[in-house]
Amino acid sequence: MADVRGHVVELQDINEDDLVVKEPKGSAAGLKAVGVSFERGLKQGGVSRTVRSMYRINQHQGVDCPGCAWPESITGDRKPIEFCENGAKALAEENTTRVATPEWWAAHSISELRDKTEYWLGQSGRITHPMMIREGETHYRPVSWSEAFTTIAEHVQATTPDRCTFYTSGRTPNETAFMYQLFARSLGTNNLPDCSNMCHESSGTALNPTIGIGKGTVSLEDLEHSELVFVVGQNPGTNHPRMLGSLAECRRNGGKVVAVNPLPEAGLLRFKDPQTPKGLLADGERISDEFLQIKVGGDQALFQALGHLLLQKEAAAPGTVIDQEFIESETAGFAEYAAAREHLDWAEIETATGLQRAEIEHIGDLLAASKATIFCWALGITQQPHSVDTIKEIVNLLLVQGNFGKPGAGACPVRGHSNVQGDRTFGIWEKPTEDLLQRIDAEFGITSPREHGYDSTESMIEMAKGEIDVFVSLGGNLALANSDTAYMEAGLQRTGLTVHISTKPNRSHVVHGKTSIILPTLGRTDRDDKHPGGSQFLTVENSMSVVSSTRGRLEPVSDHLLAEPVIIARMAEAVLGPDHAVDWKAMAEDYDVIRDHCSRVIPGTEDFNRRVREKYGFVLPNPPRDRRQFATQQGKGQFTVRALEYLDPPEGHLVLQTMRSHDQYNTTFYGLDDRYRGISGGRRVILIHPEDLAASGFADRELVDVVSSFAGEELRADRFRLVSYPTARGCVAAYYPEANALVHRDLVARESNTPGFKAIMVRFERRADGMENREEVSSLIESV
């Protein structure tokens, strides 16, 4: 294949027998990270595109990094380069000059593309033209934009709104999200699943009824000035690298950091700050003061034990540990909570967590002594059957010491996709509040449906049952992102029409509906200036509720790309007809018009257009943080009591968690080097504790088939290599999305319905060729 300049590009593929295993690293970032950032950019896009985009990242009037949702400072000055290795890789991936042109699609049949790996597909570059394939055809072929929209309209008009579902991936900016939900609701459905359903849904589900808001309650400054920060179920060295700078800053200010994780992740141990010369060259700074190597799924037990310890210490020295005044005036349910925590079965806590009582008591001492504590968490906590209960237990710990609405304290769910939080704020939700619907209806003169819609798992199940006729995907790659891969793919293929608004080819395009359309869009770094009023910008909300602008400046790789708001407006016009109450065209022409509508519909965005043009944008209101106010049913911070739960694998099984490597963005692969964990050259691995490996009777590097069990059913994934690794006992780890085939569709978190991506019960089966090539799979021990 070729890039835009006609240079020949060879696409690499993955062969798991190229696997190399080294000693895991003891620190994250440093000089190597800077080197890798530039190397990847140069490989994909050439020198000037890389340097230009890196320099503008996260700057005033620049582009918001498409990597993660970690915030930048809105008080002090920003560093000249506010980026990290993985942000740079995300940029390089989007800025590539490689192109998947109509000739590329003509050269590869669908059956050939189905056999390719996701890594291979992604490397083919940016999609340049709208493409379509109909039932019986073997190849995608180019179509005009108008034919694409007419085809979508025909399919939508031929069915009922409840048989259409509209998925959103979290890179979608605020304005686009707002238009998209307005389109779905104008049509008559709340079927608005999003990646949040698979991600932090458990956080919102736990936080809304207990603190009255589904988001975090801290600012970056709080984190840097906290006395004690817990980092639970999170791998910031890879997934939120700039967070390491804030944790290091917190420690320099005298704070302590406690990491809770089944894996000794490099970024949790030490950090070499790539923004400073000393950080680049020296050994790096320590990140965690304490590391609790917990068993997967054991966190609720840990938090219950910590609650018990706090109450015991308070009883021994009244008035020293808990915040009695706050509890009395601002919370409800404390008496029940205190009663439930009075007794603790330490033996069960040790079984559930895999930790020693003394270790937990030591952390209890730190927590009791801290006057300002923050709990940060991510997917290690949200993707368990009992995730919602675990997060409510975190809220209990915060409430008991009054850790809301004071400096250095609060809840910090660390969000994933760069705008996943904003998408929800701007209306993407299958369970909208009545208040939101009333505001939308009043602004636009439409009648939104009241019935709740499908989330991502429900959409998958309805597709597989043949109950969905139209599936539209605004970004994302649900075929691989969702659980139960074979079931998910069968669902997509059963659907009448699948539409993907995408930047690059992915698996969802090749396991498509009977008719399938790919609509290629401008990415975040691309210039968006084909408007009567000239160049436009969009906005995003980060993990700490800051709304700011993002403006791309690079020359798009093709003249045929449309901006996402334009695509949605034209789709809505085609489907809803020219007389529809909403003026879609006005919004697509001038994004200020969208923001004006938002400012009247979305609370906290009043005067949007003026405020977002201020230097670093504006912060959305957050009652628990701003005023110690809790908009819950009782108007108080709500203590909750939930029965203890943890993962108890059936005989002969281990608990499997799935995670990201250092060289991927969700279902997109940048390369095959999980550098900090020392795994490179292949991804089909199972990390297993040496003693569990010995007990299992298999050899290190042996090739096995993996079988998962759920509710009496088994799912399989073949050809994984076992790799001896210092994970917690009884808990193995594999990469997402390779292991998604093992996640049964009904394995979900209660209440939030988030897939149990970190709670899979597995066993291994011997293969006839299991020991073949075992010696060739090399093992190098490199000093750290």
Alpha helices in 261-298 (DSSP H): 266-269, 277-281
Who contacts 224 (Cβ-Cβ below 8 Å, separation ≥6)?
246, 249, 250, 253
Q: Which residue has the tokens 């869009």?
A: 521
Q: Does 597 bind ligand MGD (CB under 6 A)?
A: no
Beta carbons of 759 and 383 less than 8 angstroms apart = yes
Q: Does 284 bind ligand MGD (CB under 6 A)?
A: no
Q: Where are the beta strands (DSSP E) in 90-227?
A: 99-100, 126-127, 131-133, 141-142, 164-168
Q: Tell which one of 199, 213, 540, 582 touches Mo ion (CB under 5 A).
A: 199
Pairing of strands 760-766, 164-168: unpaired
Q: Tell which one of 129, 386, 424, 660 touches ligand MGD (CB under 6 A).
A: 660
| Interatomic CA distance for residues 192 and 167, integer angstroms | 6
With contacts defined by CB under 6 A, name the span among 37-45, 477-485, 693-701, 775-783 that binds ligand MGD: 477-485
Q: Does 102 bind Mo ion (CB under 5 A)?
A: no
Binding mask 509-528 for ligand MGD (x = CB under 6 A): ------------x-xx----
- Min dist. Cβ of residue 204 to Mo ion (A): 13
Q: Does 238 bind ligand MGD (CB under 6 A)?
A: yes
For 722-749, give the secondary structure using H, E and C.
Answer: EEECCCCCCEEEEECCHHHHHCCCCCEC
Q: Does 542 bind ligand MGD (CB under 6 A)?
A: no
Candidates 74, 75, 56, 79; CA nearest to 66 is: 56
| Interatomic CA distance for residues 267 and 217, integer angstroms | 24
Beta carbons of 361 and 180 less than 8 angstroms apart = no
Q: Does 410 bind Mo ion (CB under 5 A)?
A: no
Q: Does 33 bind ligand MGD (CB under 6 A)?
A: no
Q: How buried is residue 767: exposed, middle or buried, by Cβ count under 10 Å (0-12/13-18/19+)?
A: middle
Q: Does 203 bind ligand MGD (CB under 6 A)?
A: no
With contacts defined by CB under 6 A, name the span among 164-172, 398-406, 543-551, 775-783 that binds ligand MGD: 164-172
Candidates 723, 347, 665, 681; CA nearest to 524 is: 665
- Min dist. Cβ of residue 507 to ligand MGD (A): 8
Q: Which is nearer to ligand MGD, 196 or 640 (CB)?
A: 196
- Min dist. Cβ of residue 198 to Mo ion (A): 7
In a 13 Å sphere around the CA of 663, the CA atoms on its Cβ side amount to: 18
Q: Which is nearer to Mo ion, 379 or 518 (CB)?
A: 379
Alpha helices in 577-640 (DSSP H): 584-589, 591-601, 608-611, 623-627
Q: First vs last Cα of the chain: how many Å apart? A: 39
Q: Which is nearer to Mo ion, 199 or 355 (CB)?
A: 199
Q: Does 416 bind ligand MGD (CB under 6 A)?
A: yes
Q: Tell which one of 235, 293, 485, 543 touches ligand MGD (CB under 6 A).
A: 235
- Min dist. Cβ of residue 493 to ligand MGD (A): 17
Q: Which residue has the tokens 């691989």?
A: 480
With contacts defined by CB under 6 A, name the span among 44-52, 234-242, 343-351, 587-595 that binds ligand MGD: 234-242
Q: Which is nearer to Mo ion, 88 or 481 (CB)?
A: 481
Q: Which is nearer to Mo ion, 44 or 740 (CB)?
A: 740
Near ligand MGD in 343-402, by CB under 6 A = 378-380, 384
With contacts defined by CB under 6 A, name the span among 425-433, 488-496, 666-674, 679-687 that binds ligand MGD: 666-674
Q: Does 234 bind ligand MGD (CB under 6 A)?
A: yes
Near ligand MGD in 705-734, by CB under 6 A = none
Q: Does 657 bind ligand MGD (CB under 6 A)?
A: yes
- Min dist. Cβ of residue 179 to ligand MGD (A): 13
Q: Does 682 bind Mo ion (CB under 5 A)?
A: no
With contacts defined by CB under 5 A, name the span among 79-87, 127-135, 195-203, 326-334 that binds Mo ion: 195-203
Size of interface with Mo ion, in residues (CB under 5 A): 2
Q: Does 413 bind Mo ion (CB under 5 A)?
A: no
Q: Tell which one of 34, 132, 195, 367 touches ligand MGD (CB under 6 A).
A: 195
- Min dist. Cβ of residue 633 to ligand MGD (A): 29
Q: Does 480 bind Mo ion (CB under 5 A)?
A: no
Q: Which residue has the tokens 């008035």?
A: 319
- Min dist. Cβ of residue 69 to Mo ion (A): 9
Pairing of strands 470-474, 164-168: parallel
Near Mo ion in 22-81, by CB under 5 A = none
Tell me if residue 759 falls in helix, strand or coil: coil
Dihedrals phi, psi of 294, to nearest 5 degrees:
-85, 155
| Interatomic CA distance for residues 295 and 731, integer angstroms | 7
Q: Does 40 bind ligand MGD (CB under 6 A)?
A: no
With CB under 5 to 8 Å by kind, the binding choice for 549 among ligand MGD, Mo ion, none is none
- Min dist. Cβ of residue 195 to Mo ion (A): 6
Q: Does 658 bind ligand MGD (CB under 6 A)?
A: yes
Q: Does 330 bind ligand MGD (CB under 6 A)?
A: no
Beta carbons of 580 and 573 less than 8 angstroms apart = yes
| Interatomic CA distance for residues 488 and 477, integer angstroms | 11
Q: Tell which one of 58, 202, 210, 477 touches ligand MGD (CB under 6 A).
A: 477
Q: Does 503 bind ligand MGD (CB under 6 A)?
A: yes
Q: Which residue has the tokens 């050809």?
A: 719
| Interatomic CA distance for residues 701 and 687, integer angstroms | 10
Element (H, E) at 245: helix 241-252
Strand order in the sheet with 778-779: 673-674, 679-680, 20-21, 778-779
Q: Does 37 bind ligand MGD (CB under 6 A)?
A: no
Alpha-carbon dihedral of residues 404, 405, 408, 412, nearest 10 degrees? Answer: 60
With contacts defined by CB under 5 A, name the span among 64-72, 193-201, 214-222, 561-569 that binds Mo ion: 193-201
Q: Does 569 bind ligand MGD (CB under 6 A)?
A: no
Q: What is the largest CA-CA distance in the chain?
A: 76
With contacts defined by CB under 6 A, name the span among 11-19, 55-63, 214-222, 259-267 that binds ligand MGD: 259-267
The answer to whether the peptide bond before residue 318 is cis (omega within 30 degrees of 0) is no
| Interatomic CA distance for residues 669 and 123, integer angstroms | 9
DSSP 8-class letter at 513: -
Candidates 75, 63, 410; CA nearest to 222 is: 410
Q: Does 263 bind ligand MGD (CB under 6 A)?
A: yes
Beta carbons of 547 and 617 less than 8 angstroms apart = yes
Q: Which is nearer to ligand MGD, 90 or 446 (CB)?
A: 90
Q: Does 261 bind ligand MGD (CB under 6 A)?
A: yes
Dihedrals phi, psi of 545, to nearest 5 degrees:
65, 25
Q: Tell which one of 333, 416, 505, 513 touches Mo ion (CB under 5 A).
A: 416
Helix, strand and coil percent figures for the chain, each rounded to 5? 40, 20, 45
With contacts defined by CB under 5 A, name the span among 24-32, 305-313, 410-418, 700-708 that binds Mo ion: 410-418
Q: Does 665 bind ligand MGD (CB under 6 A)?
A: yes
| Interatomic CA distance for residues 70 and 225, integer angstroms | 17
Q: Which is nearer to ligand MGD, 220 or 327 (CB)?
A: 220
Scored b (16 or more CB within 10 A) or e, 305-324 reads bbbbbbbbbbeeeeeebbbe
Q: Does 262 bind ligand MGD (CB under 6 A)?
A: yes
The two three-digit tokens of residue 184, written as one number: 């779905």
The two three-digit tokens of residue 451, written as one number: 């019935």
With contacts defined by CB under 6 A, name the span among 402-410, 424-432, 497-505, 572-580 that binds ligand MGD: 497-505
Q: Which residues bind Mo ion (CB under 5 A)?
A: 199, 416
Q: Which residues bind ligand MGD (CB under 6 A)?
A: 67-68, 86, 169-171, 195, 198-199, 232-235, 238-239, 260-263, 265, 294, 296-297, 299, 378-380, 384, 416-417, 474-478, 481, 501-504, 506, 521, 523-524, 564, 657-660, 664-668, 736-737, 739-740, 757-758
